[in-house]
Homo-oligomer: A and B are copies of this chain.
Amino acid sequence: MPEPHAPIGARVVGVLGGMGPSATVDFYAKLVRHTPALRDQDHLPVVIWADPTVPSRQDALLAGGADPTPWLEEGVRHLVDAGAQIVVVPCNTIHAYLGPVMADQPVEFISIIDTTVEAIRLRGTRRVGLLATDGALASGIFQSAFDASGIECVLPRPEQQQKLMRLVEAVKAGPVEHRMRAQVAELLADLREQGGATTVAGCTEISTLLSDLDSDEADVIDPALELALRTIERATPR
């Protein structure tokens, strides 16, 4: 293996992606954009395994569909074999399955859920709105992490939650359109009305619809962006 040119000591970032593909592109773009770099050689080494054939997390969590675990195990194996030293997964919902998969891996795992909780704590807020898929909500991954940190959580009203699910499917089905961004704004407004001044965009398909402007605003936490920033911090030599 050739000696790394630079940055000396950077750790190889493994991205278990494909859930969905657009969300992986969005995460990778954020990782690259936020890495302090003046030339190619300043960037982090990244290996991505994106197998979009991982069975639907919604079907698995809500309707007794196929357990995605074997696909995750295979993906992590590919990343570790390729030399990944950190593994991240830019999909919130799949974190319901990642605990056992990542438990005995010889790599650092950065959870998008833990990173999000940390981002909420740093903002000093104790009450957030949560945009997450039906499957993620049924699994309780966000709520149990919020409970453990004393964070209260407001959910969209049922008809808004249905809109959110249609929006997630629309992102998976095709390119981002202007009206999709408008629908996210609507979802955020609904949560603000219910007292969720800060909202967690807890689904990476929703992350793809946030403009840089949104995520710079204090009232939206983008877990995909937070995960990218944390990954850069952990992978960059000190």
Chain B neighbourhood of A83, CB < 8 A: 78
Which of A2, A45, A172, A173 gathers the greatest number of chain B CB atoms within 10 Å? A2
Q: Which residue of B lies closest to A36 (CB)?
A: B174
Min CB–CB distance A13 → chain B (angstroms): 9
Flag if A40 contacts B20 (CB, 8 Å): yes
Is A157 an interface residue when CB atoms closer than 8 A count as contact? no
User: What's the number of copies of this chain in the assembled complex?
Assistant: 2
Instruction: Flag A125-160 by CB within 8 Å of B: 1 or 0 each.
Output: 000000000000000000000000000000000000
**Interface presence of A64 (CB below 8 A):** no
**Which chain B residues lie closer than 8 Å to A11 at the CB level?**
none
A residues apposed to B, CB below 8 Å: 1-2, 4-7, 17-22, 24-25, 28-29, 32-33, 35, 37-56, 66, 70-71, 74, 78, 81-83, 169, 172-173, 175
